[in-house]
Structure 1
Amino acid sequence: MPALYDCSDPASLLDGIRAARTAIAAGRSIVIPTDTVYGIAADAFSHEAVAGLLAAKGRDRGFPPPVLVADRHMAAALAERVPAELEPLLDAHWPGPLTVILRAQPSLTWDLGDTGGTVAIRVPDHPIAIGLLRETGPLAVSSANLHGMPAPTEAAAAAEMLGDRVALVLDAGTVGGSAAPGEQNGSTILDCSTDGVARIVRQGVLPRATIAAAIGELLASG
């Protein structure tokens, strides 16, 4: 089983963040808390690290992971362009349970999988995740579960599922759990990679009505 660090204890949190930085730099995958579910994280700019993340989940290149960033400035460096029409939505829900798919900055030397030239970006609303991201830079992060299994909201569940596929787990207690019945606990994913239109490709905890109120006619029906 991977090492678990109790983030409610200041000394354990400090040790955990140090160990997390070391593991990420070495190309290993780790488990981190977010505001929605626990995520498996790896260096977004290391092809080997991303491949290891996908292998740990039992997924292939057809399931490229989103990229978590600490703030809007970090996000802007990854995207070719952030449409001005999205600004009110991002102002309100970054940090938060909103993942936005944009055209990726073509100068970036990374390989997240079969992305079609896009990148899915999110600023998570969790202090431990934000603090780590400020130290490591952008991380490829997917829910910390085996493919086809429920996304965990408890650190122990993530550790049990992934085992030695990850180097360590940062345990921040129960996270997320705010999805409506029939919806996923993860973030809502909004595809904005085509000019002039935004489409919800996964309904998560951020309601469609909230997105529609912020961006109006930009949001496609259905």
Structure 2
Amino acid sequence: MAEILAQKDALEPACRLLAAGEPVAIPTETVYGLAADATDGEAVARIFEAKGRPRFNPLIAHVADMEMARRIAVFSPLAERLAESFWPGPLTLVLPHRENYGIHPLVTAGLDTIALRCPQGFGREVIARLGRPLAAPSANISGRVTGTTAQAVNASLGDRIRLVVDGGPAKVGLESTIIKVLGDELTLLRPGGLAVEEIERLTGEAVKRGATGVQAPGMLASHYAPHTGIRLDAAEVRPGEALLAFGPDRALGAENAAKMLNLSPAGDLREAAANLFAHLSALDAAGCQTIAVEPVPRHGLGEAINDRLTRAAAPRE
């Protein structure tokens, strides 16, 4: 298994491995990322190999600040406003990349745009120390449940990488919201840890939904999936099922669930988002045939929670 180091002791070891082209699992405020030097094709290829990720699925390039970001992508005034308001934080912007943008083409999967994010905490610190952007998809086997703790990451990828940096449980618990900015037009490519309503309030612009194709990470129909099947919007619990609950009111027959975990007994969507992947993993380990999921509201962070649950429940590819 990989070595696990507390983030207070991990900056120099992580930078040494990253500079040598090795991927390192690092904490961010959203989820744990499997990071590698985004300018080094062999390093990026090791991400795809470790995750078993299809190479047509683009990656996010993580930057330390706006200076680094502007060297890579073209920022419209609207994109500048979004970055100034929500970076560092759980927002990824998909923008046209510059002609000589310095990122390896494996990161963009051949697209003429690039996904950029400035993370909080250790992720930003290691990028600044390294002096290069990091490609960093979620630190898990491709298509499976995202890791929100160092222990979950080590269980998934520990035999494929050398170092996991432990920053404790991820604060947000969902991947970043991805917004494509084309002039004054905003399109949601993936709901995530920043509610779309916050973006609309800031900009006064409606964010379009319904994007198609793989323009950014997290757009595959089947994704974030446990091994156990998932049944959504469950009004009752069937014999032998596990139950992923939400709020104070229970589905019919909940007392007979083989195992039950509640995303948020108080019905708090922020708490539910932070618990989603850890609870899915724990119920997956219970060995039931199906996980029944109680309805979760679709407003605010509920949009992202339902997106993850829908993709987790989709037919497996």
TM range (shorter): 0.7 to 0.9
**Could you tell me how far apart the structure 1 residues matched to 2:192 and 2:110 are?**
21
Equivalent position of 1:181 in the other structure: none
Question: Which of 63, 72, 81 is equivalent to 1:78?
Answer: 72
**Could you tell me how far apart the structure 2 residues matched to 1:115 and 1:94 are?**
26
**Could you tell me how far apart the structure 1 residues matched to 2:199 and 2:136 are?**
23
- Runs ≥4 in structure 1, deviation > 6 angstroms? none
- Aligned pairs, number: 207
Establish whether residue 97 from structure 1 lines up as the match of residue 84 from structure 2. Answer: no
TM-superposed CA distance for 1:161, in Å, is 0.3
Establish whether residue 170 from structure 1 lines up as the match of residue 162 from structure 2. Answer: no
**Could you tell me how far apart the structure 1 residues matched to 2:62 and 2:177 are?**
14
Which deviations, in whole Å up to 9, do the C-alpha atoms of 1:56-111 show, x marking residues without a partner?
111122112101111111111110x1010233322221001000011111113422
**Could you tell me how far apart the structure 2 residues matched to 1:85 and 1:6 are?**
38
**Could you tell me how far apart the structure 1 residues matched to 2:36 and 2:67 are?**
20
Aligned 8 A contact 2:108 2:114 in 1: no
Establish whether residue 108 from structure 1 lines up as the match of residue 97 from structure 2. Answer: no
Deviates more, 1:161-170 or 1:105-114: 105-114
Establish whether residue 52 from structure 1 lines up as the match of residue 46 from structure 2. Answer: yes
Equivalent position of 2:187 in the other structure: 199
**Could you tell me how far apart the structure 1 residues matched to 2:143 and 2:80 are?**
34
Alignment of structure 1 residues 124-139 onto 2, 5 Å: 124-126=119-121, 128-136=122-130, 137-139=132-134
**Could you tell me how far apart the structure 2 residues matched to 1:134 and 1:174 are?**
23
Q: Secondary structure at the match of 1:191?
A: strand
Query: Could you list the runs of 5+ residues in structure 2 that have no partner in the other structure?
Result: 211-317
**Could you tell me how far apart the structure 2 residues matched to 1:74 and 1:154 are?**
28
Aligned AA for 1:84?
A: P
Deviates more, 1:116-125 or 1:212-221: 212-221
TM-superposed CA distance for 1:196, in Å, is 3.1
Aligned 8 A contact 2:22 2:43 in 1: yes
Q: Secondary structure at the match of 1:206?
A: coil
**Could you tell me how far apart the structure 1 residues matched to 2:185 and 2:139 are?**
31
Aligned 8 A contact 2:71 2:101 in 1: no
Q: Secondary structure at the match of 1:165?
A: coil
Q: Secondary structure at the match of 2:75?
A: coil
Higher relative contact order (CA 8 A, sep 6+): 1
**Could you tell me how far apart the structure 2 residues matched to 1:54 and 1:200 are?**
25
Establish whether residue 216 from structure 1 lines up as the match of residue 204 from structure 2. Answer: yes
**Could you tell me how far apart the structure 2 residues matched to 1:70 and 1:24 are?**
15
TM-superposed CA distance for 1:214, in Å, is 1.8
**Could you tell me how far apart the structure 2 residues matched to 1:116 and 1:34 are?**
26
Deviates more, 1:159-168 or 1:37-46: 159-168
Aligned AA for 1:188?
A: T
Q: Looking at CA atoms only, which structure, 1 or 2, has the larger radius of gyration?
A: 2
Question: Which of 168, 175, 179 is equivalent to 1:186?
Answer: 175
Q: Secondary structure at the match of 1:217?
A: coil
Aligned 8 A contact 2:78 2:183 in 1: no
Q: Secondary structure at the match of 2:93?
A: strand
Q: CA RMSD in A?
A: 1.6
**Could you tell me how far apart the structure 2 residues matched to 1:42 and 1:221 are?**
31
TM-superposed CA distance for 1:113, in Å, is 4.6
Aligned 8 A contact 1:77 1:105 in 2: yes
Aligned AA for 1:89?
A: L
**Could you tell me how far apart the structure 2 residues matched to 1:160 and 1:221 are?**
35
Equivalent position of 1:23 in the other structure: 17
**Could you tell me how far apart the structure 2 residues matched to 1:75 and 1:42 are?**
17
Q: Secondary structure at the match of 1:61?
A: coil
Equivalent position of 2:5 in the other structure: 5
State the TM-score, normalizing by the size of structure 2: 0.62
Distance 1:175 1:63, change over 3 A: same
